[in-house]
Structure formats: C-alpha cells, structure tokens
Structure 1
Amino acid sequence: MRFWILISIVAISGLSQGMLLPLLSILLEKHGFSSSANGIHATALYIGVLLISPFLEKPLRKYGYRPMIILGGFIVILSLALFSAFHSFLIWFFLRLCIGIGDHMLHFATQTWITDFSPAQRRGRNLSLYGLFFGIGFSAGPLLASLIQFHESLPFFLSSLLSLIGWCSVFFLPNERPQESEQSGSAHTFQRFVHAWKYAWVALLLPFTYGFLEASIHAIFPVYALREHIGIEHVAFILPAFSLGGIIFQLPLGVLSDRFQRKRVISVALLIGSASFFSAYLFHHSLVGLAVCFFIAGMFVGSLFSLGITYMADLLPKQLFPAGNLLCGMLYSIGSMIGPFMTGLMIQFGANHNFFFTISALLFLVFVPLLWNKTKKVTHG
C-alpha cells in the first residue's frame, strides 16, 4: 500500500505541474505580458527547487519521510488555491516558486523513500513506475488546463482538490527515516553532496540531460517548427509522440535495467536517442518521419530521470541516497533552465536544424563517459 500511495501522490503532482505550465502561459498572454516575461515566469518553479534543495537533507534525516511529504503537499495545495485569488505577475511568480519548493520536497521524499525500500533487483521496476505515473499525470495536465474555457479558476480549484485527496492519504502511512551511519551522521550536507558526486557523477548526468532535453523539446521545438513553416496543429501531433514513447516504454526499460547490466541498458538508450534526434534532421520535411523519430527518442530517453536515480542508487550506499536524490533534482532543474536557452541560442546564431544537432550531441557526449566509466558501488558514506 505504501508504494501505491506514494506513486499516486506523484501522479497528482505531475497533473498539477502539467496543468500549470500551459495554463499560466495562456493567462499571462491574455493579460498582455510579453513572451520573454512569460518565459522568465516559467523559471520560478526551477528557482524554487534550487533554493530549497540545500536545506532538505537534514530535516529528512531528523523527522523522516512522511512529515516532509505532508509539508510539501500542503505548500502545493495552498499555492494552487491562491492562484485564483490574485491576478498579479509578481504574486503568481511567488506562488509558482512556492510550488517548486513544495513539489521538490514531495518528490525528494517520495523518490528517496522508494529508492530506500526497493530491493536492488526491483529498483528499476519501482522507479520506472514512479516515472510512469508522473508522466501520465503530467500528460493529462493540459486537459485540466483546458477547463479554463468554463471558468478561469476551475483548473486551479480542481487541481488543489485532487492534491488535497492525495495529501490526506499520506496520513495513513507509517513514518520512516533514511538509513544512517557514523560517517553520514557526522558529515555536513555539502560533504555528502561531494561524496555522492564523487562516486555517482556519471549517473547524476542523466537527470541533467533529461531536464535539458524535456525543456528544450517543449519550449524551443515549437519555435523551430514555426520557422520551418510547420503548423501549430502539426506541432500538437509531433510533441506528444515523445511523451507517449516515454510513457509506453518507461516500465519495460526499467525492468530490462533490472535484468541486464544497468549501465549497458542506459548506454544503448542514450545511443539510440542520439541517433533518433539526428534522424529527425534527415526527416525534417516529413511530419510522419518527425513524429516517428520523436516517438523512438521518447521510448529510449524518456526514462532518463528514473533510470538516473536507479543507477545512482546502484553506485551509492543507502546513507548517501538523500544527497544523491537531492542532486538529481537540482541537476534536473539546472538542465531545464539551461536547455531552452542553449538550443534557442544555437537556432538564433546558427541554422534552425542546430536544434536537433545540439540534443543529439548532448546525448552522445553523456553516452561516452557512461560507457567507459569503471565506477563500482561504494560501501561507505
């Protein structure tokens, strides 16, 4: 029951995040704000993640998983409810930042808890289900945002209500704490970050890569499409192909990583993903070809975040799981902020097709050290 309650909460969190991105973009556009201001506003979520990350590990060790999920969920519910009460750019920015803080508390606690109690031979399967449920919720978010046509406050009200229902279920869970050791108990958070990076840096590159990839696809591919005279209705057909591929293949890829050497499975996924985005350049005149390339890419690199956490757990002792999970969230956020800027820059000062080349090159650059890395799991923290 513990596992299914946790991933249900994650699905509701994904629904809220997937709703908030298009909904606030539409509302800010309707209220007359520029596209650049809209883009800056979207970074609030990731700023919230980066601001709170250094302060989460110590309270998690002291108070346990459940209190952090309850507090994070409460911040999200309250913030969602307050959106409809105000119509201010700055207040919405602050509320979005608060949602970034609350969501990160919730995700950090749930993914660390799942990583902690999952046996190594089922960790890939469990964390792929974690990613799958979040992906399904995130994909359903725009449907919730479309309810704005009935009333501007309706999506906010429904998402806060669903979050409240999920939040209440947490009270039925027993509280647990991360495993401690003498070294982890005496070390400062920064020292644990250094240790986690030292032993699992190659696995931690994967959440960064996924953040870069996901944010670039959703933010910059529409710009590329408009410059290549691809209609908005065709973009709406191509973009979901990536998400669909990730959702369909999330669980099979996680199970494969349990049965075969995890590093090899991830290496093959990165190589196929890199080839898929390079192929998208070759088929850029064909809408079906682009959709197929995006779908195949989603199948293999749409699971990089959950696979990154799983591989990180293979390399670290349990007492470093909280630090490793925090680094995963931070690197994902940094990738999400850098991705649209870098790919946008490559398009602005180069050819439009640099969009595909940049993503393909990044995936290949991560594939190389992963393939040749000889790091083994450490037994101390």
Structure 2
Amino acid sequence: MNTTREVGYWRQVASLNLISCLSQIVQFGIGFVVLPIWLAAIGVSAKEIGIFSGLQWFAMLVAIVFAPRVINRIGFGCSVFFGLILSVFSYLLLQLPFLIIYYIAAIFSGAGVGFRWIANETWLFQMVPKESSGRYVGFHETLIAISGVAGPALSSYLGATSIVIFMSGLLICLAAMLPLLIINNTVSLESDFYRVSQADSEVNKWGVIFLVGMCSAIIGGFGDGTFYSLFSVFSISKGLGVDAISSMLILFGLGAIVMQLPIGWLADKIGLHLTAILSGLFGVIAAILIYFYFANNNFLYLLILLLGGVNSAFLTLAVYAAANEKFGTMAERMKLVSVVFTASSAIGPFFSGFLFDFYDSGIFFGVCDYIYDFCTICDDCCDEETA
C-alpha cells in the first residue's frame, strides 16, 4: 500500500468510526436508552413502552433486510445519510404529545438505525484484515459503546424530560453527517470488496463459528432490547428516581466500553467458543445477584458495570464470527448477524413488557438470567461439536 493509498485508507477508517460513534449517541444512546426513561417519566405504562421499543427494533429489522438493496442503488454514504435523516424526523415527531405519533416516531427511529448500521458497519469491516479482526471489532464496538454512556450522561446533565436533550440529539446527528463529505462513496455491494473468493465460493453453509455467533447475537439482542427499554420501569418500581436510573445506565454503558476491546483480544487468543461461554457464565451470575442485591447500592453499581460489559460482548462476538467465517460475502454475514440481533431485540421488550403487567417486575432479571443460560448451553454444545 503506497503512502497516498495508506493515508486514504486510514482517513476512511477514522471517518467511518467517527460516524458510527456520533450516530450511535443519537440513534441508540438517546433514541433507545433515554427515550424509555422519558416515556416512563411522563407516565407511559410498561406495556406501551414495550410496544414503543418493540416497534423500534422491528423497524430496524425491516431496514436491515432492505439495506443491501438501498446500498446498491444509492451507495454507502447516501444510505448512511438516509438513516440519519430518518432519525431527525423521529426526534421532530416526538415533540407532538400523542401516543400514536410516538409509535410512528419509533418506526422512524428504528429504521434510521437499521439503514445506517448496515451501510456503515459493512463499509468498515470489509476493510479489516482477518488476522486482527477481533481487535478491530473490539475497538469499534468500544466506540459504539460510548453511546450507551453518552446518552444517559446527557440525560442526567440536561434532564430526561427537557427539550434540550432532543435538540442536542439533532445537533449530534447533523455532526455525524459531516464526515460523509470527505470519504469515498463509490464502493457498492457489487464491487470487488464484496465478491466471494474462489475458495470461499465453495463454502455454502454455516460453520460452527458462525453458529456460535448466531447464538451470541440472540442473547445480545434480547438483553439489549429488554434492558434498555424496561430497566427504567423496573428501577422506578424499586423506588429509584430518574437521575439514579441515568447513573445506572451510564455504568451499564461504561461496562460495555471497558470490556469490548479485551473481549475482542480474548477471542483472538482463546477462541470464540470459550470467550462466549465465559461471557455467558458471568452474565448469569450478574443477573442473579442484581435481582437479590438491588438495595445494596455499592454492590449494585459493580454488578451493573459487569452486566453491561458482558451483554455488549455478545454483539462483539457475533460480529467477530461474521468477520471470520468463509461462506457468502461479508455483507451477507453482517446482514444475518444484524437480522438475528435485531429480531431478538424486538422480542425482548414485547415479551418482558407484557410480563410486567402480570408479574412482579423482578421477572425482568429472571428473563435475563434464563437467556444467558440458554446462550451458555448453546455455546457449550457448539464447543463440544468442534472437539
């Protein structure tokens, strides 16, 4: 790689990482994390919040399915821009105080994330060398995890019910569009970047690595969807205020930031299977202890930190699996991971939200516990298959 190409390469990588980071702050950190707090604070019921969050995730799922076609038609950069514009419309709609409008805004919000996510992530990860993919993915997911902290932090500072939080989101969204002006938008899914090599063209089925990745995507999605949408309701039922909830969510996001690079490094060193099993075991322990020790603030903070890191680790591992498999193209593998992650994220809020209306809200962490157990068992079985 000559100097000019090398400079262009790193400028492209840096710009795409910056877009991801800023976009996630707006689209996920505020859109998926802060909005449920805001809805709970203005008196929206757990079931309605579950529907709102479920609509976000289902809209994201639909966008993910259609994103490759959109990318082929208008290119990566325009697809990212389209996703961000949808988020802008979502924020504007939320200023109208009608529940049905909130649901429409949820659809715009989710679709915006879906289009931007597939375009941005596929664009970036096709440039990554396979031998260091774990560390690349871990670094990128660390940047993404900043959104889980930045959203609640802004909420805590500006106020979750203040219009200023929405205006801040709009400004950050506009800032995320700026790097698109300096990067190449000519690559499409039909380019050489996305053609399957001769050796890989003979691989037409999933390997065990990707199967473990799918299990990881299921658990990561279910955990994300359930936690971010309903933790505020769970915490309010336990007597916590909005500021305390924001602090907990900041810790959850900090856990994700701190642990993703080590998780990627660990996957490179000891393998995907063992890393996933360890993550599942720590997730089970954290979920059980949070339920029983919620009143112990100091211990609770540590557990929330651990749960945040472990939960986000599953998406990192799923992306790692997609980057290291051989069947199909990178775009196809990323799409599969994204679809599975998003579908399970959509099921989480719907399922848990309706449970909240019939059972004690503690069932939330019970659900988290069972799903972590499920992932651990699946990964253990996959590990035995490779033995």
Q: Does 1:172 align with 2:182?
A: yes
Task: Pick from 10, 15, 31 the counterpart of residue 20 of structure 1.
Answer: 31
Distance 2:89 2:58 in 1: 19
Tell whether 2:339 aligns with 1:324.
no
Matching residue of 2:210: 200
Q: Which runs of 5+ in 2 are unaligned?
A: 1-10
Aligned partners of 1:21 and 1:42 also within 8 Å: yes
Q: Which amino acid in 2 is paired with 1:50?
A: L
Correspondence for 1:301 = 311
CA separation of 1:126/1:159 partners in 2, compared to 1, >3 Å: closer, same or farther?
Answer: same
- Work out the CA distance in 1 between the residues paired with 2:134 and 2:294: 34
1:26-55, Cα deviation, whole Å (9 max, x unpaired): 665677755543442333321221222322
- Counterpart-to-counterpart distance in 2, 1:293 and 1:341: 25
Aligned to 2:19, the other structure's residue is in SS state helix
Equivalent residue for 1:48, pick from 35, 59, 62:
59
- Separation in 2 of the partners of 1:210 and 1:295? 16
Distance (Å, rounded) in 2 between the aligned partners of 1:157 and 1:127: 31
CA gap 1:5/1:357 in 2 versus in 1, 3 angstroms: same
Is contact 2:81–2:177 with CA below 8 Å preserved after alignment? yes
Tell me if 1:337 matches 2:346: yes
1: CA distance, partners of 2:303 / 2:157: 31
TM-score, reference length from structure 2: 0.79
Find 2:271's aligned residue among 252, 261, 281: 261
Aligned CA distance change for structure 1 residues 235 and 158 (closer, same or farther; 3 Å): closer
Contact 1:199/1:316 (<8 A) preserved: no
Give the counterpart of 2:261 among 251, 265, 290. Answer: 251
Name the residue aligned to 2:372: 363
Letter in 1 for 2:329: L
Report the secondary structure of 2:276's partner residue.
helix
Query: Paired residue for 2:110?
Result: 100
Greater CA drift, 212-221 or 24-33: 24-33
Separation (CA, whole Å) in 2 of partners of 1:142 and 1:336: 20
Structure 1 residue 12: Cα displacement: 1.4
Gap change, CA 1:6 and 1:54, over 3 Å in 2: same
For 1:272, the aligned partner's letter is F
1:338-353 equivalences under 5 Å are: 338-343=347-352
**How much is the aligned-residue C-alpha RMSD, in angstroms?**
3.5
Listed as ranges, the matches of 1:179-190 within 5 Å are 179-181=194-196
1:75 Cα deviation from its structure 2 partner = 2.9
Q: 1:331 to 1:234 in 2, by over 3 A?
A: same
Report the Cα offset of residue 199 of structure 1.
Answer: 7.8
Output the CA distance in 2 between the equivalents of 1:211 and 1:99. Answer: 17
Code of the aligned partner of 2:347: I
Alignment of 1:106-125 (within 5 A): 106-125=116-135
CA distance in structure 2 between the partners assigned to 1:351 and 1:38 by the alignment: 17
User: Counterpart of 1:137?
Assistant: 147
**Partner amino acid for 1:279?**
L
- Once residues 340 and 173 of structure 2 are traced to their aligned partners in structure 1, the CA distance between those partners, rounded to angstroms, is 26
1:69 aligned onto 2:80: yes
Give the count of matched residue pairs.
365
Paired with 2:63 and 2:210, the residues of 1 have a C-alpha distance of 22
1:308-336 per-position Cα deviation (integer Å, ceiling 9, x unaligned): 1111222234x432222223222222222
SS of the aligned residue for 1:173 comes to coil
Query: Using the alignment, how far apart are the partners of 1:298 and 1:273 within structure 2?
Result: 9
Inter-CA distance 176–238: structure 2 relative to 1 (3 Å threshold): same
Amino acid at match of 1:66: G
Tell me if structure 1 keeps the 8 A contact 2:252–2:308: yes
Percent identity of paired positions between Structure 1 and Structure 2 = 19
Contact 2:156 2:247 in 1 (8 A): no
1:163 maps to a residue whose letter is C
| 1:311 paired residue among 321, 341, 354 | 321
Letter of the aligned partner of 1:58 in structure 2? R
SS of the aligned residue for 1:303 comes to: helix
Q: Say whether 1:288 aligns with 2:303.
A: no
1:270/1:363 contact within 8 Å kept: yes
Which string of whole-angstrom CA distances, capped at 9 and with x for unpartnered residues, describes residues 147-174 of structure 1? Answer: 7669954333332222222212112111
Q: Residues 224 and 352 of structure 1 are in contact (CA less than 8 Å); yes or no, is this contact kept in structure 2?
A: yes
Task: Provide the C-alpha distance between the structure 2 equivalents of 1:343 and 1:62, rounded to a whole number of angstroms.
Answer: 38
Does the CA contact (< 8 Å) of 2:57 and 2:343 recur in 1? yes
CA distance in 2, matches of 1:360, 1:128: 24
Q: Is the 8 A contact 1:241 1:291 kept in 2?
A: yes
TM-aligned CA distance change 1:270 to 1:62, over 3 Å: same
Q: In the alignment, which residue of structure 2 is the partner of 1:277?
A: 287
In the TM superposition, what whole-angstrom CA distance separates every residue of 1:183-204 from its partner, at most 9, and x where no partner exists? 9xx9xxxxx9x95699833312
| TM-score where L is the length of structure 1 | 0.80
* Residues 44 and 129 of structure 1, relative CA distance in 2, 3 Å threshold: same
CA contact (8 A) 1:78 1:160 kept: no
